[in-house]
Structure 1
Amino acid sequence: MITRDAYRLFAERGYGATSIADIATEAEVAPRTVTLHFRSEQDVAFAHFHDSVQRLTERLSRALLRHTHCGGTRALAPQRKRPPQRPRRLATRRPHPRHSSRP
């Protein structure tokens, strides 16, 4: 498997020192085969991450569906937000007209 061999190379040599050609050699495929499946080394590196996120999303969706079918939607409902409060104005002291220093 290309990703398994790529991860092994990343661990041994480091991400920056591993090329697509190195990954292809380790996986015993042509470099073009690697680039057909992955656009770059970064895509190879994140392939497992994207798969994990996809599986997690599917599991959460199934759990949500099970929970809503049981009538337990209240705990998952978004909490009502309070309307934003207007900022308070600071009272500024103005001199009383009789105490003004103007003539």
Structure 2
Amino acid sequence: MPDQHSTLRAQRRSETQRVIQAHAVRLFSERGYDATTVTDIAAAAGVSPMTVYRHFPTKEDLVLIDQHGRLVAEQILAGPAGQPLVGRIGRALVDSAAALTGDAEGGGLTAEGRFLLARLRLMISTPALRAKHLDNNYALQQAIVGALGDGAGDPEAAFQAQAAASACLAAMHTALVRWTEDGGQSELSELIARALVAAFGEDVLGGAEA
């Protein structure tokens, strides 16, 4: 059954990637980004350095690679298509943040939320990661535009979708920095909503409260 085998391979690959990245972020946080080598990470994860590079082509990718683009795209596809572009994108960003960082049982951040917070701290504090983050943001922008589907064969529609995505991501970045600075004490989805309202007005999320 080739389909089942392919699914199992993909699951194993995804699990290996998560393990490697978890050890990388832990070591970077404990020792510092520059002081931690790929060999250190491979040893902690119980894999070879070559395996690390197969999953993460550069050291920066160990922090920057995530599934946020897929999650946001899923939220866009699940939402109503009749809203203005900024509203569709903004709601997807808010909802994906809520899904990622929502309260764990007993209160506080989920494991995914704590992991995101650790990664963001590294991105903000490490010059090499701040520069590389622009590439990551572009990839997220393209995932959003692809999910909108408005640019297929229409350069003007593609331009509008890219502009709307870029503007929404700029607002989200402001919220992410604020969330990181307060140690994840605020609710990330609420901060993103507030940033979107500040940038685009009260009705940006379809009248929902920010």
**Shared fold per TM-score greater than 0.5:** yes
User: Residue 76 of structure 1: which of 61, 84, 88 is its match?
Assistant: 84
Residue 87 of structure 1 corresponds to none
Identity %, equivalent residues: 34
1:59–1:77 Cα change, 3 Å: closer
Whether 1:19 aligns to 2:40 is no
Whether 1:56 aligns to 2:64 is no
Q: CA RMSD in A?
A: 1.8
1:38–1:77 Cα change, 3 Å: closer
Structure 1 residue 76: Cα displacement: 2.0
Give the structure-1-normalised TM-score. Answer: 0.58
Whether 1:37 aligns to 2:55 is yes
Residue 82 of structure 1 corresponds to none
More helix by share: 2
1:53–1:77 Cα change, 3 Å: closer
Give the structure-2-normalised TM-score. Answer: 0.30
Q: Decide which structure has the larger Cα Rg and report it.
A: 1
Structure 2: stretches of 5+ with no match in the other structure: 1-18, 87-210
Distance 1:27 1:3 in 2: 9
Q: In the TM superposition, what whole-angstrom CA distance separates every residue of 1:26-70 from its partner, at most 9, and x where no partner exists?
A: 10111111011111111111113xx1232112212221xxx23xx
Distance 1:14 1:40 in 2: 17
Distance 1:23 1:10 in 2: 9
Distance 1:36 1:24 in 2: 12
1:77–1:3 Cα change, 3 Å: closer
Q: Which residue identity lines up with residue 64 of structure 2 in the other structure?
A: F
Residue 84 of structure 1 corresponds to none
